[in-house]
Structure 1
Amino acid sequence: MATHCTSSMSTHLPTEEQIAEMVRRFYRQVLADDRLRPIFDAAITDWDTHHRVVQDFWSRTLLDTDRYRGHPYPVHAQLPLQPEHFDIWLELFRKAAREVLPADSAARAIARAEHMAESFKAGMFSFPRYEGPKLWKPAR
């Protein structure tokens, strides 16, 4: 009879309630931050719905549920964000994830958030504004 080996590094999955608490805690921190609050307050009119959407995203990411089917980049690309906002966002997210989720799930969530932040920054800020062709002029 074959036995199934389990790794000592097994994943401790978060509960849906832990994911919901992580999202609530994260946004409490966002709203307490004078640099992020104005951006989020202007963009989000229904916080309950927003929390559910974000909870669904993290449920899909961490528990492989099928509740979230959107694409977060286009929404964030419309916001008046600067690269430093993503650094603040990540700092607050890391704190919330580590406080609420099992350690290995927090690490996975943080890795995903870091990847998203880098991808968003690359898409939003990597190229300077195009100002037309530059004509080469020989030095005299």
Structure 2
Amino acid sequence: MNDIQDITSIKLLVDEFYTRVRLDGLLGPVFAEVIKNDWQPHLDKMYAFWNAALFGVAGFRGNPFAKHAPLPINDEHFNRWLELFTQTVDTHFAGPMADDAKNRAGLMAVMFQSKLANMKGGTGKTIV
């Protein structure tokens, strides 16, 4: 099995991952509500995101957290997202870049969960 090597690898990863997401009973409906049936703009943005994250290639613009903040998502969604992402990487790739992609996805999930918890006041906090 090859490692993630370039934009072609990233497109395979992203396309396969979001195929799994669309079919997933927990994540599919959340994405369907936002994306409707126009997946290509989202896929293009994810190609650019992962190309920037893994290879430092300029081209990604956006604020991923801002897009996720208003969604009806919780820790269960992030855990499932990470599970599907890891499965997809492990199905197609092996090597340092594959490991880096899984690590970055895990860090992103933890960061998003933390930020969402803080927005909601966190444990024991009340927002007035």
TM-score range with shorter-chain normalisation?
0.7 to 0.9
Distance 2:127 2:54 in 1: 43
Deviation digits for residues 15-45 of structure 1, max 9, x if unmatched? 2111001001101111111111110000113
Runs of 4+ with deviation above 3 angstroms: none
Structure showing greater Rg: 1
**How many residues are treated as equivalent by the alignment?**
121
Residues 13 and 63 in structure 1, CA contact (< 8 A), matched pair in contact too: no
More helix by share: 2
1:56 aligns with 2:52: no
Cα displacement (A) at 1:124: 0.6
Residues 39 and 80 in structure 1, CA contact (< 8 A), matched pair in contact too: yes
Q: Structure 1: which 5+ runs fail to align?
A: 1-11, 133-140
Distance 2:5 2:127 in 1: 49
Q: Structure 2: which 5+ runs fail to align?
A: none
| TM-score, normalising length: structure 1 | 0.80
Pick from 1, 5, 9 the counterpart of residue 18 of structure 1: 9
Q: What does residue 30 of structure 1 align with?
A: 21
Matched-pair identity in %: 31
| TM-score, normalising length: structure 2 | 0.87
